[in-house]
Amino acid sequence: MSEFTYSGNKFCLNNKEFTIISGTIHYFRVLPEYWYDRLLKLKACGFNTVETYICWNLHERKEGVFDFEGRLDLVRFIKEATDLGLMIILRPGPYICAEFDFGGLPSWLMGYPNMKIRNNNLLFLSKLDSYLVRVFDLIRPFLITNGGNIIMLQVENEYGSYGNDKDYLKAVADIYRRNKMDVLLFTSDGGTEFMYTCGSIDGLLAASNFGSDPKQAFDVIKKYRPDQPLMCSEYWNGWFDHWYEEHHTRSGENTAQVLDEMFGMGASVNFYMFHGGTNFGFTNGANHFGKYQSTITSYDYDAPLSECGDLTEKYYQIKAIIEKRFSISENIEVQNSTKIAYGNVELNEFASLFDVLPEPKKSPSIMTMEETGQDFGYILYSTELVGPIPNMPLVLEDVHDRAHIFVNGELKGIIERSHRKDEVRVNLEVGEIIKLDILVENMGRINFGPYMFDKKGILGGVRLGDMNHFGWKIYNLPLDILPQSYFKEVKNTPIFLRGYFNAEIIGDTFLYLDNFTKGIAFINGFNLGRYYTTAGPQKSLYVPAPLIKKGLNEIVVFETDGFESNVISFKELHNLG
């Protein structure tokens, strides 16, 4: 039987010393058609291991309904890594952070009144147990103890940055053990004593996460775990972006220098990220450090492989350090993908959102997305106001995250969490009636810190002055299904626009929406993610080649704010700001 363990400060693979040189590639942020390419480039760079989180929120979007197919085919990803001879580290969570919606937790958890996440809450643990049983049944044949290549499993994730409930950590570890996850289990936490000690438990290897100053972090490991190997389980060699920020970069020279330091200390390393990929659809998360900040669609992370899988200067500088320290036995040829500029496309078919609404739920009071069973997308609240109303302010209590306020179909104001709060007043004569529509976008649930229980929609109700308004129609708009009927007449936003382009040659491309403001884009029904042209830094959306068909291709844009022209463009170069 194969085994992976450690003795003193050395990892051992089948009784031979083994230095983990690992890179993170999230299967759920990369199309399956590109998994092999990204994994091959990992191996060609000299890495011997791949690491990935497992995302509960996508594998179980609806409670009890599991999805491990297509983009979520975890087994296929494991097999492709195994075929390349890569060792595998899996991090099932339940919490994964990852700048992913709700830190990878499913939003339906928030629909339970007594739910408390990430602590020794029996309700939370029971839901977790049901999910992990499914995951473990899938991965068990691939554990190294069963002849596979999975050498390590992480229990929880950076728990020392969230809480100190050791009973909870032990309960999660017990779920692993009951399901015969008999490989090396570990925790990972920030490199300070406080986080490291709060997030680790006896009996599990404890690794550290950081981007610089390895000596400081490794000194903490040596102090509290002198008889285990040094491991940086997340080497932050780049960083992620929020809307309204500058694009983050880190030099390859500095990245390689710190890596060399860690190898010189005898440490094992996992690059976070080796290849960042994309927050397709509505899957991006958010942070809240004094204000709400939504993460952009691109998860390029300034990683060694770019968002589209291209080899960067950082890639070669890292490879040189690995070659110097360990030598790279195989010379594997890898190359960048073909890029195509498909040019301008005119979107000349239109459908108003208000003309294609689904059947509503009726409720006396406002309900959140979670209370209606919705996870991603938009939610629309509709009602009528009847006069007399004497010039009173319309108050939306606690908008999560961005609300458009329409009166009789005309936009009157926008409220964006932490960024904008237009005043809207209502002044009606006796018997005068207006239609009020409030479209709210879920811009991503908070994925880190104390404010993670981040419900979406309008949380506290709608008032006229101090008076609560009741009597609502609520429309769930996850946009899993796009409108089928379009017209030539341009209508007011929010609006769907549709156009077509022909592709004779297939390649990666980048979608520019310079004439648009804010919304989402679809190609052949696939949700590419959000654009927010006026906020930046991201100016283009990555369109992977497998989404493009030879011949006619459909592009749909859902615009909420307004557009200057109905022309979009496909170019060869990405612009992340």
Nearest to 298 by CA among 555, 13, 556, 539: 539
| Strands 150-154, 184-190: pairing kind | parallel
Instruction: Output Rg (C-alpha) for the chain, integer angstroms.
Output: 25
DSSP 3-state percent helix, strand, coil across the chain (nearest 5): 25, 35, 40
Q: Give the separation between CA 414 and CA 383, rounded to whole angstroms.
A: 18
Q: Give the separation between CA 95 and CA 156, rounded to whole angstroms.
A: 6
Q: What angle do CA 522, 100, 334 make, to 5 degrees?
A: 70
SS3 category, 442 = coil
pLDDT at position 435 is 98
The beta strands (E) that lie in 9-107 are given as 10-13, 16-17, 21-25, 49-53, 87-91
SS3 category, 430 = coil
The beta strands (E) that lie in 262-331 are given as 268-275, 286-288, 292-294
HSE-CB for 440 with a 13 A CA cutoff: 30
> What pairs with residue 12 in β-bridges?
5, 17
156, pLDDT greater than 80: yes
Q: Give the separation between CA 6 and CA 228, rounded to whole angstroms.
A: 7
Domains observed in the chain: 4-325 (3.20.20.80), 343-351+483-571 (2.60.120.260), 357-477 (2.60.120.260)
Residue 31 structure tokens = 């199309």
Is the separation of the CB atoms in 107 and 370 below 8 Å? Answer: yes
Is the separation of the CB atoms in 438 and 398 below 8 Å? Answer: no
pLDDT single digits (tens) 332-377: 999 999 999 999 999 999 999 999 999 999 999 999 999 999 999 9
| Strands 540-543, 567-571: pairing kind | unpaired
1, pLDDT greater than 80: no
pLDDT at position 73 is 98
Q: Give the separation between CA 415 and CA 404, rounded to whole angstroms.
A: 7
| Strands 87-91, 49-53: pairing kind | parallel
185, pLDDT greater than 90: yes
DSSP 422-440: ---EEEE-TT-EEEEEEEE
pLDDT at position 42 is 98
Q: In the predicted model, what is the mean pLDDT of the chain?
A: 97
Collect all residues with Cβ–Cβ distance below 8 Å to 176 and sequence separation of at least 6.
132, 136, 153, 155, 185
Task: Tokens 């769930």: give the residue.
Answer: 476
C-alpha distances in Å from residue 232, one per residue of 23, 318, 327: 11, 16, 21
Average pLDDT value for residue range 408-428: 97
Q: How far apart are the first and last CA of the chain?
A: 51
283, pLDDT greater than 90: yes
CA 160 to chain centre: 21
> What pairs with residue 65 in β-bridges?
62
pLDDT single digits (tens) 498-548: 999 999 999 999 999 999 999 999 999 999 999 999 999 999 999 999 999
| Strands 205-210, 551-559: pairing kind | unpaired
Average pLDDT value for residue range 167-174: 98
Catalytic residues: 158, 234
SS3 category, 260 = helix
Is the separation of the CB atoms in 494 and 517 below 8 Å? Answer: no
DSSP 178-240: HTT--SEEEEEEESSHHHHHHH--TTSEEEEEESS-HHHHHHHHHHH-TTS--EEEEEE-S--
Looking at residue 467, its amino acid is M
pLDDT at position 204 is 98
491, pLDDT greater than 90: no
Nearest to 249 by CA among 221, 211, 284, 216: 211
What pLDDT band is residue 560 in, cutting at 50, 70 and 90?
A: very high
Is the separation of the CB atoms in 557 and 347 below 8 Å? Answer: yes
329, pLDDT greater than 90: no
Residue 125 structure tokens = 């643990």
Task: Tokens 């964006």: give the residue.
Answer: 416
328, pLDDT greater than 90: no
What pLDDT band is residue 327 in, cutting at 50, 70 and 90?
A: confident
What pLDDT band is residue 299 in, cutting at 50, 70 and 90?
A: very high
